[in-house]
Amino acid sequence: ETGVTQSPTHLIKTRGQQVTLRCSSQSGHNTVSWYQQALGQGPQFIFQYYREEENGRGNFPPRFSGLQFPNYSSELNVNALELDDSALYLCASSPRDHPYEQYFGPGTRLTVT
Amino acid sequence: RKEVEQDPGPFNVPEGATVAFNCTYSNSASQSFFWYRQDCRKEPKLLMSVYSSGNEDGRFTAQLNRASQYISLLIRDSKLSDSATYLCVVNGPRYKSTFGDGTTLTVKP
């Protein structure tokens, strides 16, 4: 069984640029959630996707957007990057019958300079 | 006040000790609860779910107190390999998940 994978592993961007992060969910999982984790803090919920629709969102501005594809993989897009967007971005997938039971990928470490 | 609060620690305990962590939450409509562990610079890994009746997995016991709005994790007979940050997460309503900032445990020989 393949776990959650994310790409890229690391990324360096300049303030004002746009970035796209990718996530492949675990086999049999149909729900994907994205999180931002700053150093020393817990993961902060960005949003959740189910059946290609956003069905839950945290306190993040609209420049954070996402997509889920028919194969349940997902993208996180961040526009107009700010220095404070530097963080570890985590994707988690959940099985159909346990949407809150989340399995995390290794994350993408984004640095904005 | 944060929606989910944990004592950040660190908790430094000797091998074989029993250690307990608490996590309080503010939203009484929360629906489900879990504990995760996170090793340094790694992703969180699901440790166990938490129920009002309590649940046990080997040396780990988790408990939910809905009336007082807190969850707990008890680790018995601590091992060196238990050293990590322990995160509680409170889920719902509306498919929102809220993590605490974690409690750091260091188990020493």
**% of residues, chain A, pLDDT over 70:** 99
CA A64 to chain centre: 10
What's residue A1's pLDDT? 60
Across the range B8-17, mean pLDDT stands at: 95
- Chain A residues in contact with B92 (beta carbon < 8 A): 100
**SS3 category, A43:** coil
For residues A111 and B77, give the distance between their C-alpha atoms in angstroms, rounded to a whole number.
Answer: 40
The pLDDT of residue A35: 98
The amino acid that residue B54 corresponds to is: G
Q: Which residues of A touch B84 (CB under 8 A)?
A: none
Dist CA A53 CA A73 (whole Å)? 12
Contact predicate B37/B44, CB 8 Å: yes
Q: Across residues B43-69, what is the average pLDDT? A: 94
- Neighbour count for residue B5 (Cβ, 10 Å): 16
Question: What DSSP string runs through B37-89?
Answer: EE-TTS-EEEEEE--TT-EEETTEEEEEETTTTEEEEEE-S--GGG-EEEEEE
Grade residue B53 by pLDDT with cuts at 50, 70 and 90: confident
pLDDT above 70: percentage of residues in chain B: 100
Q: Which amino acid is at A104?
A: F
Proportion of chain B above pLDDT 90, given as a percent: 85
What average pLDDT does the segment B63-71 reach?
A: 95
Residue B77's CB: how many other CB atoms inside 10 A? 11
pLDDT value for A2: 73
Is residue B1 over pLDDT 90? no
Q: What is the mean pLDDT of residues B39-61?
A: 94
Q: Which regions of chain A are under pLDDT 70?
A: 1
- Name the DSSP letter for residue A26: P
Closest-CA distance, A17 to chain B, in angstroms, reads 25
For A90, the closest of B43, B98, B100 (CB atoms) is: B43
The average pLDDT across B73-97 equals 94
Question: How many Cβ atoms from other residues are within 10 Å of residue A21's Cβ?
Answer: 21
Residue A96: what pLDDT? 84
CA distance, residue B18 to nearest chain A CA (Å): 24
In this predicted structure, the answer to whether residue B22 has a pLDDT above a threshold of 90 is: yes
Please determine, for residue B103, whether its predicted confidence score (pLDDT) is greater than 70: yes
Interface of B with A in 4-43 (CB under 8 A): 4, 31-32, 34, 42-43
- Mean pLDDT, rounded, of chain B: 95
To the nearest whole Å, the CA of A38 is away from the closest chain B CA by 10
Is B34–A33 a contact, with Cβ atoms under 8 angstroms apart? Answer: no
